[in-house]
Amino acid sequence: MPFARAIDAEIHYEDSGGEGPVVLLGHEFLMDRTMFASQQAALTPEFRIVTWDARGHGRTRDEGLPFTYWTSARDALTVLDQLGVERAVVGGISQGGFIALRTALLAPDRVAALILLSSEAHEPTPAELTNARRFLDKWYEDGPRPALAEHLARFLIGDDDWYRAVWVKRWLARDPNATEVAAGALLGRDSVLDRLPEITCPTLVIHPTRSGVPRAHARELADRLPDARYLEIDGARQTVNMTHPVAVNTAIREFLRDLAISRSTPQTGLRR
């Protein structure tokens, strides 16, 4: 299995291969790289899709120590280093989007464009922190955990019974301690709102209207980025790339094709 070696972790990734532009995608909190199966199937081989597991998730191996999304951004760059890729489109959903934004801030010369789904640049709200702490405290108890997992699946996925069953099974098999450490990065994240004007690469912001991210936050993310296009997908929940793959894949494909056009004709299309 392919791993990119950071100082204190081995970051697992999956590479579709091919000669197309590289698109590096990061997953939602408590999920893993497999949530992008529909994107791999639909966008390959025109694009080279690379998905990876963040610390505390999937098959990535780490020491279980606290980390931040700035650490994760460096992990994303480590994956690109392992592949010998100087510049890529970087994206992700929710947590993956938080990481992608920080990757662009750390290494703007290596990020050709951003794809942000169900994401934002804000820090957690007080209500989010309170609710998450209550959830995590109960998550340690064997009795409530199955019901909590079902509730979380309904919140993130919605009415898709198959996907809910898949992810609930995986969550119940997870080490609760790994969940606590990963949650530390999610709940301890800093706001990067004021730094968004530094990110000048083209960006696609996709907001599902039933996401846990407030619409105002998604709009502010798109409005503050200098070169962003914004798309809402009505009725979709957080994991919109799984539940509404046709709409998401179409939007990503058109965005990436427009990037290719703008490279060949700099006077038109999206700014570079």
In a domain, 83, yes or no: yes
In a domain, 149, yes or no: no
DSSP for 207-226, written as a single string: EETTSSS-HHHHHHHHHHST
CA nearest to 192, candidates 28, 69, 30: 69
In a domain, 195, yes or no: yes
Query: Is the pLDDT at 265 greater than 70, yes or no?
Result: no
In a domain, 24, yes or no: yes
**What per-residue confidence (pLDDT) applies to 266?**
44
Name the domain count of the chain: 1
53: confidence class by pLDDT, cuts 50, 70, 90:
very high
In a domain, 171, yes or no: no
Q: pLDDT tens digits, residue range 135-186?
A: 999 988 889 999 999 999 999 999 999 999 999 999 999 888 788 899 999 9
What are the DSSP E strand ranges found in the chain?
3-5, 9-15, 22-26, 48-52, 61-62, 88-93, 111-117, 203-208, 228-233
In a domain, 157, yes or no: no
Q: pLDDT tens digits, residue range 204-228?
A: 999 999 999 999 999 999 999 999 9
In a domain, 11, yes or no: yes
The CATH number of residue 99's host domain is: 3.40.50.1820
Domain that holds residue 227: 3-122+179-263
**What per-residue confidence (pLDDT) applies to 261?**
77
Distance, CA of 61 to CA of 241 (rounded, Å):
26
In a domain, 143, yes or no: no
Q: pLDDT tens digits, residue range 7-50?
A: 999 999 999 998 899 999 999 999 999 999 999 999 999 999 99
Q: pLDDT tens digits, residue range 217-259?
A: 999 999 999 999 999 999 999 999 999 999 999 999 999 999 9
CA 108 to chain centre: 18
260: confidence class by pLDDT, cuts 50, 70, 90:
confident
Distance, CA of 102 to CA of 69 (rounded, Å):
7
